[in-house]
A and B are shown apart, each in its own frame.
Chain A
């Protein structure tokens, strides 16, 4: 396990450095010039050159890269050239709602997917299995913004959940209950896509595992059905599920912007979209760095769990 962890860690740090290098190149690869984006109409060649000089953009590329890595490593994102706000402040506003939506939607998806997949796998191509399969495909084919609109009626209108309408986001630090209420519809909407994937992946693996010879062997010991399911079938069936969780969470961190824009929540996805339109190069770099780090941490956690669940993987 130890060697496996070190290997994974080295690999992830390498990925982080590569992502950071690409994020750094953005400034120099994207069309336009930072000074132009800052000065907009007031841009003249002389003013632009002066601004570039004061921002350090006239230095050789390698010097700029080193100072960039140094700053990022110290979580020193600097002040936004365009808005004049510290970038760390922008991040601390847009990160919490996104992280919360991602985590809670995944939790909801798993809490629903695992028992339903188990029920379906116990009788493959039985009535429940077929219904659940059809239902999950149906859900998958409805786009998020439609789901959000459709969820609004039962949740806000019929159930009358307070704060569940658009533009009613309450920060977690202010009132946690109101916060969850205000995010309830986007969380449910975001969980649907993940739920369908988790349901299908876990169901398929569980069906395969339950047909394995070691399940017959476990039966021959005379132990109960539930013990066979939980002790013998769940673990070998959850490896693909874990990787699906990793992929989904990574996708959702920047993929929540539809839900954010419908509900006017200031999240990471929306912020990134804005920064790209401006273009606010520093903010893009900072968001890319932070989300890449998060995704890498999630993947590391998933690798850890996978190695724990299936010892064959961690002993390569």
Chain B
């Protein structure tokens, strides 16, 4: 993975702010991250009060990179993925911070401040864009694979129509070409007899097939960033592995960046370059997959890893659980949100919230007052292998 480039991105953000008075567009540096998330906070204005589902999240995502966002139910990972795409409804929802998406610059050289690059990039501010502006990048630049393909496919529209719709509307393809491409996509996501399926309705397909269709819809317009929000939650374990392998292969084929949102560490272990662990709407640990698995410092990450079942365990081994319940986000504790459930809790944890700090051993980030001691990390490719970690990743 690339080094944490907080300074670099801070510059990029101020560049966007400065661009307005001079009316010249500041290009992003060629090595700028594809997605730069800075201090993003998403709050819902509810009758019970302001509910902050995502707090102060910052990270960068580079081209071709696969990042896993892990957390239990209610940790804010789904809200975060929708916020990143700008899909949150505008009414009743407040998004603060900056989500800068690098998009190719299509204007001329005299609109640009400074020298023109070979492949010029400009920042598109997702957090403050109107829906009409977002529509220009949805599908073609950022696409999403939704959690439950039963409810996220339109039950009364043919599968083929749902795939070719984006092609026709966004890419202006003719009916015949769109159909050809849609059938090609169905083949690519591993659906047998695609011509037949093209004419079917979602309820005629199995859960795994529906998720493949969902992926085909997301891939239709060749997005550069794919957000997969728990893409395998509602599926059988054998189908889960198939879908994840498919996503991994398509990521390589399409040269996309992928954000894989999941509650299952096994899912992210072998398929991500980096992992972001979320708890109660905040990032509590973030680093390369290898660092997080081998040298996690945050007790919550340890607890999450401990509660993943392993094949090596003898039969009837009791599954380790994290005591207590995820906190009520309307009523967060004053200090560390995890403190009430943490076995290493100290006085300080209950009164003061820890900030993300780099680990002295690996340089990856964690937020904890009383961290687990750093451990040595075997040197190899950033993606850990399932055997090494002892996580039963495919479970098939």
Which residues of A in the span 201-245 have a Cβ within 8 Å of any Cβ on B?
212-214, 216-224, 227, 231-232, 235-236
| CB of B139, distance to nearest CB on chain A (Å) | 4
Q: Is B156's CB under 8 angstroms from A220's CB?
A: no
Q: Can you list 21 A-B contacts (CB < 8 A)?
A: A213-B151, A213-B152, A214-B151, A214-B153, A214-B154, A214-B155, A216-B146, A217-B146, A217-B217, A218-B165, A220-B146, A221-B217, A222-B136, A222-B138, A222-B169, A223-B135, A223-B165, A232-B154, A311-B201, A312-B203, A315-B203
Given known A222-B166, A223-B170, A311-B201, contact A235–B138 (CB-CB < 8 A): no
Q: Which residues of B contact A58 (CB under 8 A)?
A: none
Q: Which residues of B contact A221 (CB under 8 A)?
A: 138-139, 143, 165-166, 169-170, 217, 220-221
Most buried by B among A217, A220, A224, A235: A220
Given known A213-B152, A232-B157, A315-B203, contact A220–B144 (CB-CB < 8 A): yes
A213 to B78 Cα, complex, angstroms: 13
A219 to B146 Cα, complex, angstroms: 12
Specify the chain B residue showing the minimal Cβ separation from A308: B156
Q: Is B153's CB under 8 angstroms from A217's CB?
A: yes
* A309 interface residue (CB < 8 Å to B): yes
A59 to B204 Cα, complex, angstroms: 57
Which residues of B in the span 121-158 have a Cβ within 8 Å of any Cβ on A?
131, 134-140, 143-144, 146, 148, 151-157
Specify the chain B residue showing the minimal Cβ separation from A227: B169
* B268 interface residue (CB < 8 Å to A): no
Q: Which residues of B contact A217 (CB under 8 A)?
A: 144, 146, 152-154, 214, 217
Interface string of A305-316 (1 = CB under 8 A from B): 000011110010
* B345 interface residue (CB < 8 Å to A): no
Task: Kindly list 9 other residue pairs between chains A and B, CB separation below 8 angstroms, not including A214-B151, A223-B169.
Answer: A214-B154, A217-B153, A217-B217, A221-B143, A221-B220, A222-B140, A236-B155, A311-B155, A312-B203
Interface string of B336-352 (1 = CB under 8 A from A): 00000000000000000
A223 to B135 Cα, complex, angstroms: 7
Q: Count how many pairs of residues, one from A and one from B, have CB atoms less than 8 Å apart in the complex.
A: 85
Q: Which residues of A contact B50 (CB under 8 A)?
A: none
Given known A232-B157, A312-B201, contact A220–B87 (CB-CB < 8 A): yes
A311 to B201 Cα, complex, angstroms: 8
Which residues of B in the span 50-107 have a Cβ within 8 Å of any Cβ on A?
85, 87
Which residues of A in the span 258-316 have a Cβ within 8 Å of any Cβ on B?
309-312, 315
Q: Which residues of A contact B203 (CB under 8 A)?
A: 311-312, 315
A236 to B202 Cα, complex, angstroms: 13
Specify the chain A residue showing the minimal Cβ separation from B169: A223
| Interface residues on chain A, size class | 20 to 34
A221 to B154 Cα, complex, angstroms: 13
Q: Is A214's CB under 8 angstroms from B152's CB?
A: yes
Q: Is B85's CB under 8 angstroms from A220's CB?
A: yes
Q: Is B201's CB under 8 angstroms from A219's CB?
A: no
| CB of A252, distance to nearest CB on chain B (Å) | 28
Which listed residue (A220, A227, A310, A311) contacts B138, Cβ 8 A?
A: A220
Q: Which residues of A contact B135 (CB under 8 A)?
A: 222-224
Interface string of A95-132 (1 = CB under 8 A from B): 00000000000000000000000000000000000000
Q: Which residues of A contact B155 (CB under 8 A)?
A: 214, 236, 310-312
Most buried by A among B135, B136, B220, B221: B135
Given known A220-B144, A221-B165, A227-B169, contact A309–B138 (CB-CB < 8 A): no
Q: Which residues of A contact B214 (CB under 8 A)?
A: 217
Which listed residue (B136, B148, B221) contacts A213, Cβ 8 A?
A: B148
| CB of B382, distance to nearest CB on chain A (Å) | 29
| CB of B371, distance to nearest CB on chain A (Å) | 38
Q: Which residues of B contact A232 (CB under 8 A)?
A: 154, 157
Q: Which residues of B contact A224 (CB under 8 A)?
A: 135, 169
| CB of B75, distance to nearest CB on chain A (Å) | 20
Which listed residue (B134, B146, B153, B156) contacts A311, Cβ 8 A?
A: B156
Which listed residue (B138, B156, B170) contacts A236, Cβ 8 A?
A: B156
Q: Is B152's CB under 8 angstroms from A216's CB?
A: yes
Q: Is B154's CB under 8 angstroms from A218's CB?
A: yes
A106 to B388 Cα, complex, angstroms: 70
| CB of B130, distance to nearest CB on chain A (Å) | 12
| CB of A211, distance to nearest CB on chain B (Å) | 10
Given known A213-B152, A217-B152, A217-B153, contact A222–B170 (CB-CB < 8 A): yes
A315 to B155 Cα, complex, angstroms: 12
**In the complex, the 10 A-B pairs of residues with the closest C-beta atoms, listed nearest first:** A222-B138, A222-B139, A213-B151, A214-B154, A221-B166, A222-B135, A213-B152, A217-B152, A221-B139, A235-B156
Which listed residue (A219, A222, A310) contacts B156, Cβ 8 A?
A: A310
A224 to B87 Cα, complex, angstroms: 14
Q: Which residues of A contact B217 (CB under 8 A)?
A: 217, 221
Most buried by A among B131, B136, B140, B152: B152
Q: Which residues of A contact B165 (CB under 8 A)?
A: 218, 221, 223, 231
Q: Which residues of B contact A227 (CB under 8 A)?
A: 169
Q: Which residues of B contact A214 (CB under 8 A)?
A: 151-155
Specify the chain B residue showing the minimal Cβ separation from A233: B154
A147 to B220 Cα, complex, angstroms: 55
Which listed residue (A216, A219, A235) contacts B157, Cβ 8 A?
A: A235
Q: Which residues of B contact A309 (CB under 8 A)?
A: 156
Specify the chain A residue showing the minimal Cβ separation from B220: A221
A309 to B146 Cα, complex, angstroms: 25
A217 to B220 Cα, complex, angstroms: 13
A311 to B87 Cα, complex, angstroms: 29
| CB of A307, distance to nearest CB on chain B (Å) | 11
Given known A221-B169, A222-B139, A236-B156, contact A213–B201 (CB-CB < 8 A): no
A214 to B144 Cα, complex, angstroms: 12
A221 to B136 Cα, complex, angstroms: 9
